[in-house]
Amino acid sequence: TIRAVVEGVGHYLPERIVPNTWFEEFLDTSDEWIRTRSGIERRHFAAEGETTSDLAVKAATVALENAGLTADDIDGVLVATSTPDLTFPSVATMVQSRLGMTRGFGFDVQAVCAGFIYALANANALIVSGQAKRLLIIGAETFSRIMDWEDRSTCVLFGDGAGALVLGAAEGEGTSDDRGILATDLNSDGRYRDMLYVDGGVSTTGTSGKLRMQGNPLFRQAVEKLTSTAETALASAGLGHDDINWIVPHQANIRIIAGTAKKMGVPLDRVIVTVQEHGNTSAASIPLAMAEGVAQGKIKRGDLIVSEAIGGGLAWGAVVLRW
């Protein structure tokens, strides 16, 4: 049986770190409100002129080094993003050329905060079906570019960054003890479009628009849908919550992260939490948290990881993988 196995991980965060107190200067908000309602303490913002592809290339370069590979070894690049440099070409093709790749393919995946889960599921399908042997999967975002700086209910929550994985094909027994992606579960429901969207685009306003969110109704959807997708993916891998070493969740809000872990019967000390440092980096949050979990010596080879995410669409999903 062919499995898509993690061979390397890397991340990049823009240099500028913005603490919650920065928002107090121009908004009716407080460090206290942001911390207690979201768990966020600071976030990184890209410099002027620094683009999503810049962040993606840096994260990808670290992931390739971590895997002991070069761009020549890669068959394709998948970038999960909702904040591309341009409407087209894809960020993935920009990364491809900047890594010096002249063969293989690249494309972007747009499923907002669930984008990295969608990209992993696509990458897994390409590898398991034999269409690619080695892929670079990147989550990269510059959500600071779509913030309404007058809307205190959204602009304090998001940050910029990128994370990347190298996935390679490996032959195994086909059991849940094998390393690699064991199961995926994807869902979306467009009836919820008004809960989280950007109010501009090519075929409507001709502008890039700003993020709009009904935080509280979304919050209530999140815990239920995240628990259900994670449990579906776990069951299809033939596993249960006792088998989980680490939940690596999308990092939107500590209360959503903790609520989902509790509902799944997993203690918070088996959850990788980075929301306090990064804010919500949309499609970048899961690979950033994976990179952080490895760097802190928490995630080790052979560990069972469950990742789950929900975002605009609504779109949500989960991946079960043995690291």
Active-site positions? 113, 250, 280
Among 14, 161, 312, 317, binds ligand ACO (CB under 6 A): 312
For the bound state, the minimum distance from the C-beta of residue 151 to ligand ACO, rounded and expressed in Å, comes to 8
Tell which residue, 108, 116, 55, has the closest CA to residue 249: 116
- What is the DSSP pairing of strand 315-322 with strand 304-311? antiparallel
- CB burial of residue 25 (10 Å; 0-12, 13-18, 19+): exposed
First to last CA, the chain: 17
Helix (H) or strand (E) holding 215: helix 215-236
Binding mask 101-120 for ligand ACO (x = CB under 6 A): -----------xx-------
For the bound state, the minimum distance from the C-beta of residue 273 to ligand ACO, rounded and expressed in Å, comes to 14
The helix-helix angle for 31-38 and 254-264 (nearest 10°) equals 20
* Cis before 27 (ω within 30): no
The identity of residue 1, as a single letter, is T
Binding mask 292-311 for ligand ACO (x = CB under 6 A): ------------------xx
Region from 33-41, 71-79, 103-111, 128-136 binding ligand ACO, contact rule CB under 6 A: 33-41
208 binds ligand ACO (CB under 6 A): no
196 binds ligand ACO (CB under 6 A): yes
Binding mask 246-275 for ligand ACO (x = CB under 6 A): ------xx--x-------------------
146 binds ligand ACO (CB under 6 A): no
Among 33, 35, 41, 245, binds ligand ACO (CB under 6 A): 33
| Coil/strand/helix, residue 6 | strand
Tell which residue, 251, 313, 321, 265, has the closest CA to residue 109: 313
Report whether 286 contacts 321 (CB < 8 A). Answer: no
The residues that touch ligand ACO, with contacts defined as CB under 6 A, are 29, 33-34, 37-38, 112-113, 152-153, 156, 196, 215-216, 218-219, 222, 252-253, 256, 280, 282, 310-312
